[in-house]
Structures are given as structure tokens and as C-alpha cells.
Amino acid sequence: MSLWSEFNESTIDQWKNKVLDDINNKLINKFNWETEYGNIDPFIKTTKTIFNEEKIKLSQICWRFNQTKNLNSQILSRLEDGVNSIYINSGCEVDSIFKNVMSEIIQTHICIDNNSSNDQISNWVKWINSNHNLNGSIRMDLFDIYKSENNSIKIDNYIRRIYKNITNKNFKCIYVNGLNYNSKLNTNVNDISLIAAQLNELVEIHKKNSLEIPKKVIISTLLNNSFLENISKIKVIRSIINQILNVHELNAKIIIETAINPMTIVNKELDFRILSITSSIMSAIIGGTDICQLNDSMIESKEDYWKKIITNIPLILLEESCINISDDVVKGSHVIEQITSKMAEKSWALFKEIENKGGILNCFNQNDIPIFNSKINE
């Protein structure tokens, strides 16, 4: 016998009439929400649900270091504050930055860009291979490689040159960078479709070059000021990436890394920044992010005190608010399910349009889709 069997089921019209009574018959249309993917009606119960089928817990609080000056002391300070993951550029001197750092118990993410020299890359590969207890990732941005190498053959050679020498599989991954899109293009649908297209292109490159496809896929994406849309965006990314991997018959761990969109907090007062950052990080944790990326630009202060405050935000949310306990705390929320479903449909449609035109690199070469043009010409 159902717990609710003694109660009569209420219809949508009954709920609407109740709401109208409570708001003194004001226009109920004001409750509708116009978004980039369609109208969101809070009274519609969706039949499609995209939710996290397994418990996804924020596992890494990552600090991205953009400056190389005094990097060793900066790393030690952030680790003391509570981060357990660092993101650094391959231009750093590997021999000096890990002094007194217990590298085996943190995650180290290394970005190789088009300014990285062969010697720098070789030094990092040696360090990665020196101890197979080290964990993290070595990352290459497809767009960066495209701008520097300028054709698919050179891109293939670039990726093959990096990965063929890495023996520590803990660092091998397929990395999709969704952090660097032009702010004018930064809508959730565009972001997700570009992320999906990049992943598909990278998988095809690995297959074409007979490279072993890593068991780890890392997706970086930006958060905005919309609490509900951030939750839906992370869910949609995980769902679409999983669908693409299934098509390729791949079994890989999907890791989603989120960062605050700097455009949402630029030129804002400090109090506003703290509140906005807290809201965005909370939405990311609820949505199912794996890595929370922090950096100096979020606070624009050289004082370690404020960097510690920023680090404390995800720590407090995890340890004191208990939002990470439930498998999916927003499961059953009709509004979020509508947003998620509509966002997924439009993102998938744009992704298919890109693939029907030969994939993301072919679109770049042909300047075939307008939303790509400003990214290429930056």
C-alpha cells in the first residue's frame, strides 16, 4: 500500500487555482520563465528526467596558478589552506616548484599550450613517469593546438608526440577545455555543443592514430549567475558526454571541472563576489561537479587571507552543509527537470549540426558556423 494512497491526486488546474487564490488573482503568466532554450512552465510535470545515477561527490578543490613567480611558496600556502589539487602551466620549472610538496597525495594538472617548448614538455613527461604513484592530468587544448599547428595532420602529430612517451597512465586523459570561449558566445547551449564536438573530434583523432584511448575524460566548463541553470548544465554535460562515449563503445570515467565565469564578477564589490562565488559553487556541487577550480582572479587580491576565504567556501559547503550526502538532491524538481531536458535537446541538436558538417575542425576550416568565427580569430 502506497504511503500517499489515502490522499486524492491533485490536478494541474487545481494547483493553478490554488496559486491564483494565494496571489490574489495576479497574472499567472508572470511565473513563466523565458530562457535561451524555451519557456519554462512551473506547472508542467516532465516525463523526461536527467539525473545522476550514481553518487557524484566533489573530490578536488583545485587552485589554478597563473603566475610563476614564487610558485613553490604559493603552492604550499594554498595546500595549507585546504586545496588538494593544483593546476599549473608547463612553462614552470618542474625541478623547483615541488620542494616540500607531498606530490603523491595531491592531484597535479599540467597545461601544455602552444607556447610550451619541447624541452619543457620533455621535463614534465620525465617527472610524470618518475613515480607512478603520482596522480593528475596532462592537458592539451584542441583550440590552442589548432591555432598553432593549423591543420589536422600536425594536430595528430602533436597529440601523438605527447602521449606516446607517457608511461604513467594516471596522467593520461582526453581533455576538453570549455573555459576559453568568447564571452559573446557563452550561452549554455553553445558551450555544451562545442564541448561535445571537441570530445568527439579528440576520440576520432585517437582512433585514427591507433592511440590507446585514456580511461579518463576531463571536461572543464564555466558557471554563470543562474543557480538553476548551472545545476542543469552540469547534468546535461555528463549525460551527453556519456552518450558519445557509448556510441564509441568506450568505458571512461567522466570528470567535470567547473570554474567561475570571470565576466559575472568583474568590477564587482568584494561582498558581491563572495556571495556570487558561494552561490555558483553550491550549484556546481548540487549539479554533480568533480573538481571545483579556484584562482587569484576571483578575488583580485594579493592577500593570502582572501585566498583562504575563497578556499573555505567549498570546504564549508562540503563539511558543514552536507549537500554532498544525497545521490541527487534536485531529483523530482519539475522546474530543473524542464530546464535540463530543454537544454539537452537544443545542445544535442547543435552538436549534430556540427557533426553533419564534418566535425568541429572542418567547421573551423570552412568558417561554416558563425558562432565559431570569433574564437578562431582571437
Q: What is the CATH number of the domain that holds 372?
A: 3.20.20.240
pLDDT of residue 93: 81
Residue 89 counted as domain residue: yes
Residue 15 counted as domain residue: no
pLDDT of residue 371: 56
- The helix or strand, by DSSP H or E, that contains position 353, with its residue range, turns out to be helix 334-356
pLDDT of residue 374: 40
Domain with 127, as residue range(s), is: 60-376
pLDDT of residue 306: 87
Residue 18 counted as domain residue: no
Residues of the chain short of pLDDT 70, as ranges, are: 1-4, 24-31, 43-55, 147-154, 181-186, 326, 368-378
The number of folded domains in the chain is 1
Separation CA 29–CA 100 (nearest Å) = 61
Residue 303 counted as domain residue: yes
* 185 secondary structure, DSSP code: G
Residue 218 counted as domain residue: yes
The string of pLDDT tens digits covering residues 152-179 is 556 777 777 777 788 899 999 999 998 8
Would you put residue 224 in left (φ > 0), alpha (ψ -120 to 50) or beta? Answer: beta
- Collapse the DSSP code of 86 into the 3-class scheme (helix H, G, I; strand E, B; otherwise coil) and give the result: strand
Q: What is the mean pLDDT of the chain?
A: 84
Radius of gyration of the chain (CA): 22
Separation CA 50–CA 331 (nearest Å) = 9
Report the predicted TM-score, pTM, of the whole model to 2 decimal places.
Answer: 0.88
Residue 199 counted as domain residue: yes
| Angle of helix 188-208 versus helix 142-149 axis, rounded to 10 | 70
The string of pLDDT tens digits covering residues 56-85 is 788 999 999 987 788 999 999 999 999 999
Residue 203 counted as domain residue: yes
Residue 151 counted as domain residue: yes
